[in-house]
Amino acid sequence: MSKPPPGLRTGTLGTADIAFFVISAAAPLTVMAGVAPIAIMLGGIGAPAGYLLAGITLAIFAVGFTAMSRHVPGGGAFYAYITRGLGRPVGIGAALLALVGYLGMATGIYGLLGSATVETAHALWGLDLPWLPVSLIGLLLVWYGGFRSIDFGAKLLGVLLIAETGILLLLAAGVLIDGGADGLGLDSFAPGNVLVPGTVGVLAVAFAAFTGFESTVIYRREARDPGRTVTRATYAAVAFLGTFYAFVVWAVIQAFGDEAVVKAAADDPAGLFFSAITTYVGAWAADLMHILIVTSVLASLLAFHNAINRYGLALAEEGVLPRALGRVHPRHRSPYLAGVAQTVLGAAVVLGFGLAGADPYAQLLLWVNTPGMIGLMALMLLTAIAVPCYFRTVRHGEGRLRTVVAPVTAAVLLAVAIYLIASRVELFTGASPLVNTVLLSLVPIVFAIGVGLALRLRHSRPEVYARFAADPEADDTAGFEPDDTDPDPDPDPDKRSEPCPQPTPS
């Protein structure tokens, strides 16, 4: 009898491991040193509150999101949840949007890797390096990290994450010990400084800083005690990012003083954090921060690379992508062919931008990342809508707070957040109105193509369509008793007479 093909390494990741993947994808040091000065320019000293508000919104989303994760097994995450709540056409559209969104985020960050490395080499050693070879070398390093076992990646990301958060905490400690420029105060959280027109722009920037936090559920099959580990990791990631971002931005404001910080951010946004850490810690710390920004970007790339590999694996197992992408390495237990395909695609895009003479930051990063970021937020919105729809049709032991109140509230808040980002998209791209229109249009276009693919599959490959987002196997739902008042434990998502309208008939 032949052996079954190898699968992912189960029971490997704990709460901290998954949280490392999620927080690393957000790249806290890069987000703070590279983007937080823009938030200060827009919102003034009330900028820290914007990060707290974004974190609260995503924590509310996580309530329904994690409740559903305990009832829907598998590695498809968003698209599986959306399929169960809103039907297969919407679910397959979401699957394509998720794959393209994550690919956009990861590929664009290779431009940031190139530009950050070039700036670091020039600042520390006076070297003028070309960015394109740096980005291509980064592609190979990230491929290797994803090729190795998932526990190898978790350990590596843990080390890199501790280093990048450590340098920011060192900066904050220096400011606190010294007392800041004008003494320490909490004016950043006063309503009069938070409720200003510029807060709209801060919220747009702040939501972008959490990108990738939702990928906790992608690692469900590799988690220890997934019913609890995934939930804990999600809340831990959101709580850490929200409070950490707000604390660090507040500390930098104290470093310059309420009256001077906005001008300092406007005069030299790229150097704001380096100037602060030089003053309060020392020039050696600024040099170390330059190096850790590069490792922060590498950590973010590895986290996204692993997430994309698992989305590719899930879609290959569904039969939507070629079966070869679902192969798992017999030794490392990683979806290695999905990693190869992702690396080849990334290299093609990076080479294309490089040969066209594009700027690695202003064009490769910002133009490719922006639709990816908005696409992932659209997936969160669809998931929030799907949660109450799903729980109205299955037996469960969850309360109304988790299944109705929180997801509906999150849907409203996420819709507002998407509008804020879309209305201020020039903050992220620095591009012309025409380019911005094209970038924003990519999200609904990709989703529509996915829905079209679903309708085609329903007629041409009905067996693939019928098993899309089905339970791969019995999963751990211990601790959740069914509600015997609901006679149907998990109906076919295309055969529900209620509760939510389907965008396309099935």
Torsion of CA 195, 25, 424, 186, to 10 degrees: 20
pLDDT of residue 500: 65
Element (H, E) at 380: helix 366-391
Residue 395, classed as helix, strand or coil, is coil
Tokens of 126: 């006076």
- Taking CA atoms, 13 is separated from 10, 73, 256, 374, 473, in Å, by 8, 16, 41, 29, 19
- DSSP letters for 20-35: HHHHHHH-HHHHHHHH
C-alpha 321/C-alpha 492 separation (Å) is: 22
Tokens 């006076």 found at: 126
pLDDT of residue 485: 37
- Amino acid found at 450: G
φ, ψ at 117 (rounded to 5°)? -65, -40
Tell me the whole-structure pTM to 2 decimals. Answer: 0.86
Instruction: Give tens-digit pLDDT for 242-287.
Output: 999 999 999 999 999 999 999 999 999 989 999 999 999 999 999 9
Residue by residue, pLDDT tens for the chain (506 residues) are 455 566 676 778 888 888 888 888 888 999 999 889 989 998 999 999 999 999 999 999 999 988 888 888 755 578 989 999 999 999 999 999 999 999 998 999 999 999 999 999 999 999 999 999 999 999 999 999 989 876 777 788 888 889 999 999 999 999 999 999 999 999 999 999 998 888 888 888 888 888 777 678 778 878 888 878 888 999 999 999 999 999 999 999 999 999 999 999 999 998 999 999 999 999 999 999 999 999 999 988 988 898 899 888 888 988 888 988 989 888 888 899 999 999 999 999 999 999 999 999 989 998 999 999 899 899 999 999 999 999 998 888 889 999 999 999 999 999 998 998 898 888 788 899 999 999 999 999 999 999 999 999 999 999 999 989 876 554 443 333 333 333 344 556 665 434 465 444 33
pLDDT of residue 209: 87
pLDDT of residue 337: 93
Alpha helices in 179-282 (DSSP H): 191-194, 199-208, 226-256, 261-267, 272-280
Residue 254, classed as helix, strand or coil, is helix
φ, ψ at 216 (rounded to 5°)? -55, -45
pLDDT of residue 502: 47
Tokens of 156: 């590596």
pLDDT of residue 137: 97
pLDDT of residue 69: 81
DSSP state of 498: S
- DSSP letters for 296-360: HHHHHHHHHHHHHHHHHHHHHHHTSS-GGGG---TTT-S-HHHHHHHHHHHHHHHHHHHHTT--I
Phi-psi region of 352 (alpha: psi -120 to 50; beta: other; left: phi over 0): alpha
CB count within 10 Å of CB 482 equals 12
Closest CA to 56 of 406, 496, 392: 406
C-alpha 453/C-alpha 96 separation (Å) is: 9
Tokens of 282: 């020392």
Instruction: Give tens-digit pLDDT for 115-129.
Output: 999 999 999 999 999
Tokens of 155: 């350990």
DSSP state of 13: B
C-alpha 22/C-alpha 219 separation (Å) is: 10
| Contacting residues for 199 by C-beta, under 8 A, at least 6 apart | 42, 43, 46, 49, 50
